[in-house]
Structure 1
Amino acid sequence: MLFDLPDDDVLYQALLTRDPAYDGFAYVGVSSTGVFCRLTCSARKPKRENVTFFDSIAAALEAGFRPCKRCTPLALPGEQDPLVQDLLAALDAEPERRWSEDDLVARKLDPSTVRRTFKRQFGLTFLEMARLRRLGRGLDRLAAGERVIQAQMEASFASGSGFRAAIARHLGTTPSQVHRRALLRADWLETPIGAMLAVADEHGLHLLEFVDRPALPGELTRLKARTDSEIVMGRTPPLDRIEAELADYFAGRSLHFATPLMEAGSVFTRRVWDALREVPAGETCSYAALAVSVGQPSATRAVARANGANQIAIVIPCHRVIGSDGSLTGYGGGLWRKRWLIEHERRQVVAATHGDAPPVPEAGQASAS
């Protein structure tokens, strides 16, 4: 960029008025649709909380957004290079294809010419664009609740490690950022009810969430800002420990967690989280009862907000909080998982009491109950 973009409020107003002044210099990603557009797009305008602005096509693609078919942000004003038109059409026709330089040669194209042309116009090469489009398809599948291997296959990655590495790049870490900032390590932890993402430093666990949680991207962004860190895929002792404890938890061997936690929240929020850990496994409580336990019986709504702000699922057991009428209430990982976790813990407590461990229920059984 030859200039800095104005703040997001100015850009959002430009989006509402379809101001052409930023055409080619600013793009908007819409989280509710997963696409990115020109600010002049004729589509119905999204809500302010659902948009993210980018200063380049490459940045929008790297964030996992697909180009809008209505405003075609990949097309430049005026006549476009036939080489670019042909390859963009091919990419739209087969977004899951694993393109290579051999494919370009088969189309009687010079890979170096294609590389220079796309780099000059879009800020990234054609092969990089194709990889990001495949990654975007995989992210869509994760958001839809599919397992990592299904998302990996949808994205046409040959190996899980390759897909995870691409997701790591999707987090936004660059070599220059790695050298400038502290690092948090993240890894995928498979569970019977879906993959989880765990983030930790050398001292404790910062985040543990199901990867299909809609709020996860925002949580990662806030975590990086709060800790002035970048997140890369890797391992630390707390990650090894939480993986082992989760394995014991889901196998019914133990409902206890001792992994050190790096909690971030107000004094009141941390009091609520402490109270959550005091709710016995196999039991539930209401928001009102939780408010009483922290000494503020009139603060039910504040307790609910603190419960929702929890970024360390299962270990800080916000799934044990239900409505005063006994109904299941909101849970970031999905109500079916909340039901599964409550039932799983109840069965383990009953088994411990009677000395007979029941089988761990399948995720499909829990979601159907």
Structure 2
Amino acid sequence: MAHVSTGPARVVAHLGNRVRGRPPGEGRRLKMSAVTAIGLFVAVRLCGGIVVALAASSSGRRPLPLLGYSWDSVWYLRIAAHGYDLPKNLAFFPLYPGLVRAVTALTPLGGIAAGLLVSWAAAAVAAYGIHRVGVLLHGPAVATALVVLWGVLPHSVVLSMAYTETLLTACAAWSLYAVLTGRWVWAGALAALAGLSRPNGCAVTAAVLAGAAHEVWRKRGRGVPHRLWMGAALSPLGWAGYVLWVGLRKGDPLGGYFAVQRRWGSRFDFGRGALRFTEHMMLHGARLIFPMALLIVVVSTLLFVLLILDRVPLPLVVYSGVLLLIALGGAGNGYFQCKPRFLLPAFPLLIVVARALVRTARARPWHATVVASALAGFSFAYGAFLVVFSRPAL
């Protein structure tokens, strides 16, 4: 498939050419590719869940409470049941607990089951959105590899937990797809929802605004559709609206939310805290989860450089870059091991790897099978270790 240069307009034009020149049956082939990708994603996550269940059973614990009521899940489910009744609750954004509350109100499911249902459904929607972005850029084979790679990341067990990363990724993938195809209102609305899902949801807003700014610059400000301005205006409303609401509740409109985060020991220090922790870890050693987190952050940084060199569309670079910046620069007591989880929504970082895997599969299918199997096996084993045996919070 031809290379796609930077900028939403180029991608839209490229997509239009593909649609006009689509041979008979290609639409069906793309649908089958999406079904295959989502099916493989569900399969690998089910296998990961089975490994977690076996590990939990061996330690005398139940898997569903581990997946649905651990660490941050406890806070989200409390908000879903009781609202923002505690000052510390205000650190958690409202979209996920709101959806959980809606599910418990409309179905007989309890909080844990509802939380898992929302997360699993969001993971499937995210996988489909990632596939659509991958098809747009490099065709169905790379798109399928991209989805599967996202499902077998070392921390992908989080995609099976009652956490918010799946919800953010779902909103982000479809917002980015909307930007790349010129659907600006949809892009802005989904960016607003992403901003209501997690603190780092602001990365989606940055991507939409970058895409809009590039389009305005390309047109020199002339003939810019009003939908672009509307989408750009919508995009920050979720994140900024919640931060302002928390600030008003705390009596400090601009600083109240960040004061709540500081009570959790969370702050942005441009990576100084992470460097100090890394130095301490190198000198004195640490549990497996900490060096693994460092390795994942380093690899993610290298993948971001490769993403830039690959000249993917600007919104994808900005989105991934903001997520990486937040993960690198954020600091907090006991949060170093969470950095890989913060990077889970950064699926564009895997585009270069997906392309390499597809090339390998075409030239040496056995090698690609071994690589994919090794990644999946490590993901399942490490995910079970994180959930069942590791003490630090994910």
One fold, TM greater than 0.5?
Answer: no
> Structure 1 or 2: larger helix share?
2
Please state which band the TM-score falls in when normalised by the shorter chain: under 0.3
Q: Which has the larger radius of gyration?
A: 1
The answer to which structure, 1 or 2, has the higher relative contact order (CA under 8 A, 6+ apart) is 2
What TM-score results when the alignment is normalised by the length of structure 1? 0.24
